[in-house]
Amino acid sequence: MTDEPVLLTEQSGHVRTLTLNRPHRKNAITRDLWAALRGELHHAAKDSDVRAVILTGSGGSFCSGADISDAAGMDEFPDPSREMNAINDVVQLLHDLPVPTVAKVRGVAAGAGWNLALGCDLVVATPDARFCQIFTRRALSPDCGGSWLLPRLVGLQQAKRLALLAETIDADEARGLGLVTWVRPEDAIDTFVEELAVRLASGPPLALAQTKALLNAGTVRTLSESLAEETRAQAVNLTGADVIEAFAAFAEKRAPVFTGTPGG
């Protein structure tokens, strides 16, 4: 065992990296790790210095899911909904986070671990990454947002295949299904993800936050509802400082410097 924190945090410029840090258990998530994730996502949502978040795991694995060997048993919490609420808080925070998120996946991403990766806006994996909706192997049903995410990403039939059979798929198949955005070699993934996060963090914060929210909600809105929300979002953008900066940078043939300053 180790006295190291179960979640490592690192800030580089405007990019915050959260690293699941239980390598001896392939970063399986305990109550302490759920709580740490919940706290760090709360902080990231409120910290104006954070403009992009990377979620990854230590020791060559992303996350093998919830740790079913966690010392405290069900007797301590006879109402399972209390356990699920801790997970649901993290899922909702990740979904609502107003900055872009990138999952960097090596090795195994299973169960709740895979769904945490799918909850990020973009997913980058190494060729050795393996993905599994492992729940039914444990006589469980999907959680951590899997029942909502999978059908929206791959369609209902493929979602049922992945969830009912609990098959393990590789990075190439996951990319083909639209569950991984990019596959990058082991010796290139760190640089690729860092550069990607810097690009995202350099974007206009207000516009990126509203773009993310519009896309997240678009699948459950009607066209008329989406048009109304686009109008609202664009009105906010047009009163902010970043639009003025974007137009000025275009005219002056230079790169824009966005601040996310809202309009008065």
Q: What is the pLDDT of residues 6-51, one digit of tens each?
A: 999 999 999 999 999 999 999 999 999 999 999 999 999 999 999 9
Residues 123 and 213 in one domain: no
Residues 26 and 94 in one domain: yes
Q: Report the CATH number at residue 193.
A: 3.90.226.10
Q: Which domain holds residue 243?
A: 205-252
* The total number of structural domains that make up the chain: 2
Residue 196 lies in a domain: yes
Residues 14 and 40 in one domain: yes
Residues 108 and 157 in one domain: yes
Write the DSSP assignment of 5-50 as a string of letters. -SEEEEEETTEEEEEE--GGGTT-B-HHHHHHHHHHHHHHHH-TT-
Tens-digit pLDDT profile for residues 106-117: 999 999 999 999
For residue 147 the two structure tokens come to: 């029942």
Tens-digit pLDDT profile for residues 44-78: 999 999 999 999 999 999 999 999 876 444 455 55
pTM to 2 decimals? 0.94
Residues 182 and 236 in one domain: no
